Amino acid sequence: MRYLHTMIRTGDLDRSIAFYRDVLGFRLVSRSDYPDGEFTLAFLQAPGDSGNDGPMLELTYNWGVSSYDLGKGYGHVAFKVESMDAFAEKLRARGHDFSWGPGKAPNGRTAIAFIVDPDGYQIELIERADA
């Protein structure tokens, strides 16, 4: 078994692609319209991942749906960053900031922070001192 992707729904596909590409440094791998089903899929890959069959983030836009109730069951996706300070500079330069942190995880060795994407999804950023 191998991890392939995580799918999240978006109310504005172009806005979400721009956020993940321009703010987080993801690479757009593919974007496909499905007129019969009235939806568009975009697959993005995080910096540091390689190959078109590696782990992806799938953004799904259902035509005509501009927002979703995220509910109480969803938690977050997490990504490793090499330097929380460098990431903070990049984030702020693009007009964004952390929604929480950075702070230390209970183990005391890991710096963590959270940001929120344009649709309200939580993203955890992790910098491990031993990584």
Residues with active-site annotation? 124
Maximum Cα interatomic distance, the chain, rounded to a whole number of Å: 51
Give strand ranges (E) for the chain. Answer: 5-9, 27-34, 39-45, 56-62, 77-80, 100-104, 110-116, 122-128
C-alpha span between 62 and 16 (Å, rounded): 13
Beta-strand pair 56-62/39-45: antiparallel
Contact 24, 79 (CB under 8 A): yes
Which tokens sit at 25? Answer: 């440094």
